[in-house]
Structure 1
């Protein structure tokens, strides 16, 4: 139990984003004086604010530190209250308040402070609403994503297990073992779907090499004696076996609703080649076992791209041996560290990064499951962790607070006119090459603040020399150089939609992700870019799922219940002649709101599976109630 507790409430104020009221309770047996209070919150204090009963001492992004009135002493059992009016946004959900807090005492010690939800006068209490209906099925088969074609007759009793027919090749037996191991990791308490030898009451799988019309396609033909799995593609083999495991899982887990087929056919192939899921590990660090489990979940849902967001303002998470400072400094946040506490960080420093050996293990695990790992090093913006770790990246003549990012970070973009920037990134890319076999390296390119670099003498000289006007053209100059560096190393450039600004980069070998709104993807395709659709309004899994104050999550893109995510049609109004530019779709998991496993699971699931079905299943084959009935049996983190 903490000796101190901080409560926060918000009240609306006409003409502003409202007022915070904070109350610090002294639950210890000693009087408290000579301290400062720090907390982190996504609802930040603006440049112009009014604080009553406290003085704002420091503010960096989501980190705020206050001093009490001089001479204040809080007696045991007493409290101190102060208010702040002048916020950067209006909080809309219970998680928009405090995400961590601590006190710094007079002797310099940092001590934890407990805290609660952001309170709103008049807000309803009680249980969160159920966002997923019980669902119903017209065909009693648990398959998700739903296949392209299905015509099956159910059996009254599922087989004890499925096993490879005598004479099956070593490749096919290994595939069975791979999916068996996947199932056991995801459902360790369930009976296994496969054995490697015949079993009484089981059914054999006969593998047949059949030409597929596209990658990852497969066909399953069921009889009372055997199941024929036809494909000539390694992905199709994996997905066919996963479908069998799903069918058997549902028939055992919920036999009142689901059954296993005795006769019939499944013919299946994916709708899109890029079926992705992004994970931000900068705001919150996920240990290696969590990353591998998420990849297992992606494979179970037939997703095939893991977009790994490894760096941001908050932390640099990838070991680069040429620059150990990136993880010695840039992967650690704390009250006495160079990187101050951010969302979820309290009195104790927190750190975490992935060694190159960790990365090799994760990439190998993903490759075994036909999941491509696309790494992201977010540049030139979102680079505070790198800039604070390597001061040589900074133009020393630039004003230290010349611009600020939308998240509140000062001067957080790598400088295009500092030549060391390119030497640094070249060595980073060189160390990434043997770790990531993906054709793509994602370089971010998003949210560079308007006005970035304009106060840098080096950039002013570069702009004059190259005849560049403004931040967007400076970024375009920078990204064209980065694209050339990647091309020299045999890699293609992926980035967020802002890469196209200021003239953009060469369209050939470039893949852009449209996140700000769906219309952006249509515009990019029209400009000749290959695109992945990942609009925040449907596929950002950190968005709150309802307007209800009690719902956790972000709110900048509105609220997104699972049914909206499921029903969203990413192709939208994309003209027929542009659809070949659309490589696929992707879910994004940004970490600001995921300060607990419970929040992660509530926000990510079942919406991740909803994106997976949209990526695989033709629109006319989707069914929300069937999806709802099946997805409640699917695994979470």
Structure 2
């Protein structure tokens, strides 16, 4: 039999009396032979409920976003023919073209799997609004290409710009290395552009003098411009890098659009960041990113003067970090496929998908980030979001716990590490012992999010622990677990970072603990009142997988609402923080969750320009923000 070709088309329709609606799916057999006794699998973030009603199909099983259906008994799909069926009963209504099938495959009677081509989710019953333009026509009031905008600037525009900024002869070898470091960063991001620096004088260049001043903060710098010379004053390597990056941006903008942007001929820039934590998170569990993509994203963060890379290395869908004590975590727990221990999810189909980071690769990425003044914060998400871990290490489950006794919000059954099983802590101790030497950051992020209420309630071991320790339900158990984890980290010289649910059930000791407020902005204030240090990363403003417009044809997730670039830019994370609580507000962070990100082009469409907006929120004082200026500069951002 020749390799068959299949196409799956899908649409969403409303249902009277049921807001969630349903799917209509059509499988086209474009092969040369009839097929029978087959099964169809599709993955979709809009999940089918257990009580869904199927018309002309039999719903056979679901695991989170994995759905399997079969045709009626005796059905045969002829060459060139189509099989149509309806599924009425979804867990939420579809709102955008990306809310339907993300991937699909057909399993034939002989057990072979064949990927289907899948198109966008179509809309029945109302107008399918096209995606709009997301940025207005930009306009600059000051002709300088800078993003994020500096704290203070008083500049006069020059009529020309130098060929390069030439390092003064008296510069130290360390300073020359710093200049070369920003030069190579620029060349990686803009390989076809003219370089901004030279290590010796060149014709039509301008002298760059580097001066140290111990009275400046480590992250601060000052630039003084004159027709003959630019003087960069700094006290530490971070300030030097930020100042050099500013110069590279100014010169790059003057070159790419001289009608809009100029290089200063006179004046000063005095600059330092608004917040100490200016972060970007990347989820590599749902979709694996090769090391080249990770290092390029870190380069982009450096260009925008972000200083934290939060690396989300494990989740239900895969474990991505090599742990030598448990090699099966990455031999089995990092692969999804029809015949693998982990079923296809979120865009993968017949072909297995895999990927993990070796410890040597991690060391190289951490060193690369450090050279750009970026700290890498690893995240191993516990106790929830561990379907992959528990599929591999089944001894970490209570064998007497009822299967499918609880489900996560993403639909995974029994996916949380059990706090009552002592082997759980032995496992995590070995994991931490291998992670700590790889990441010099003082924080280790342990997740703590989205543990389903009702988790462990059918586990006899958990019930026994609750009785012995006087714990109340799921979140009492979670707090017990987190307190033990906090102590384990302290023994290894690390402090606990987590999502805001770490505070549930009594939480942990707030001293030295950093929590990320993601569910809504008010959570950050509540955490600060409890004594926690807080990073603001609300889904309603800083989750870069969220859809950017209400239009049906605009792609993205929508559970946190619609997040247009204008909102990400205007959002003020300090919000209603009382003055006395503001010391607990440490900064801001963008989060890139990757359920939807099936291509680099898709990544770039959703991440930019909103990543630039979060970078400016972390650096630029509120009074210096300018939406139209941002709109003029952001389209020139380097992308993945």
TM-score, structure 1 normalization: 0.99
What aligned pairs does 1:141-540 form with structure 2 within 5 A after superposition?
A: 141-540=144-543
Mapped contact 1:276–1:307 kept (Cα < 8 A): yes
After superposition, the C-alpha distances for 1:201-234 in whole angstroms (9 at most, x for unaligned) are: 0011111111344331000000111111001121
Mapped contact 2:542–2:614 kept (Cα < 8 A): yes
Aligned counterparts of 1:2 and 1:524: Cα–Cα separation in 2: 55
What's the counterpart of residue 13 of structure 1? Answer: 15
Q: What is the deviation of 1:135?
A: 0.6
- Where 2:581 maps in the other structure, the secondary structure is helix
- Where 2:498 maps in the other structure, the secondary structure is strand
- Where 1:326 maps in the other structure, the secondary structure is helix
- Where 1:18 maps in the other structure, the secondary structure is strand
- Where 1:12 maps in the other structure, the secondary structure is strand
Aligned counterparts of 2:75 and 2:88: Cα–Cα separation in 1: 22
Aligned counterparts of 1:532 and 1:235: Cα–Cα separation in 2: 21
Aligned counterparts of 1:632 and 1:56: Cα–Cα separation in 2: 45
Q: What is the deviation of 1:134?
A: 2.3
Q: Does 1:590 align with 2:589?
A: no
Mapped contact 1:145–1:616 kept (Cα < 8 A): yes
What's the counterpart of residue 75 of structure 1? Answer: 78
- The alignment's C-alpha RMSD in Å is 1.0
Mapped contact 2:161–2:254 kept (Cα < 8 A): yes
- Where 2:69 maps in the other structure, the secondary structure is strand
- Extract unaligned runs of 5+ from structure 1: none
What's the counterpart of residue 556 of structure 1? Answer: 559
Aligned counterparts of 2:39 and 2:636: Cα–Cα separation in 1: 48
- Where 1:228 maps in the other structure, the secondary structure is strand
What's the counterpart of residue 629 of structure 1? Answer: 632
Name segments (4+ residues, structure 1) moved above 4 Å.
122-127
Task: Identify which of 33, 38, 41 aligns with 1:35.
Answer: 38
What's the counterpart of residue 132 of structure 1? Answer: 135
What aligned pairs does 1:606-625 form with structure 2 within 5 A after superposition?
A: 606-625=609-628
Mapped contact 1:123–1:549 kept (Cα < 8 A): no
Q: What is the deviation of 1:418?
A: 0.6
Aligned counterparts of 2:127 and 2:593: Cα–Cα separation in 1: 28
Aligned counterparts of 2:344 and 2:551: Cα–Cα separation in 1: 29
Mapped contact 2:129–2:551 kept (Cα < 8 A): no
Aligned counterparts of 2:507 and 2:629: Cα–Cα separation in 1: 43
Q: Report how many residues are paired.
A: 637
Mapped contact 2:128–2:551 kept (Cα < 8 A): no
- Where 2:73 maps in the other structure, the secondary structure is coil
- Where 2:293 maps in the other structure, the secondary structure is helix
What aligned pairs does 1:41-60 form with structure 2 within 5 A after superposition?
A: 41-60=44-63
Aligned counterparts of 1:82 and 1:201: Cα–Cα separation in 2: 70
Decide whether aligned partners of structure 1 residues 469 and 126 sit closer, same or farther in structure 2, where only a CA change above 3 A counts.
Answer: closer
Mapped contact 2:519–2:538 kept (Cα < 8 A): yes
Aligned counterparts of 2:614 and 2:474: Cα–Cα separation in 1: 35
Residue range with higher mean Cα deviation, 537-546 or 23-32: 23-32
Aligned counterparts of 1:431 and 1:14: Cα–Cα separation in 2: 55
Aligned counterparts of 2:536 and 2:527: Cα–Cα separation in 1: 11
Task: Identify which of 107, 119, 124 aligns with 1:116.
Answer: 119
- Where 2:104 maps in the other structure, the secondary structure is strand
- Where 1:397 maps in the other structure, the secondary structure is coil
TM-score, structure 2 normalization: 0.99
Q: Does 1:3 align with 2:5?
A: yes
After superposition, the C-alpha distances for 1:490-544 in whole angstroms (9 at most, x for unaligned) are: 0000000000010000011100000000000010001110000000000000000
Q: What is the deviation of 1:136?
A: 0.5
Mapped contact 2:43–2:104 kept (Cα < 8 A): yes
Mapped contact 2:223–2:269 kept (Cα < 8 A): yes
Q: What is the deviation of 1:30?
A: 0.5
Q: What is the deviation of 1:123?
A: 5.4
- Extract unaligned runs of 5+ from structure 2: none
- Where 1:95 maps in the other structure, the secondary structure is coil
- Where 2:314 maps in the other structure, the secondary structure is coil
Aligned counterparts of 1:526 and 1:157: Cα–Cα separation in 2: 53
Aligned counterparts of 1:197 and 1:370: Cα–Cα separation in 2: 25
After superposition, the C-alpha distances for 1:279-327 in whole angstroms (9 at most, x for unaligned) are: 0000000000000000000000000000000000000000000000100
Q: What is the deviation of 1:127?
A: 5.7
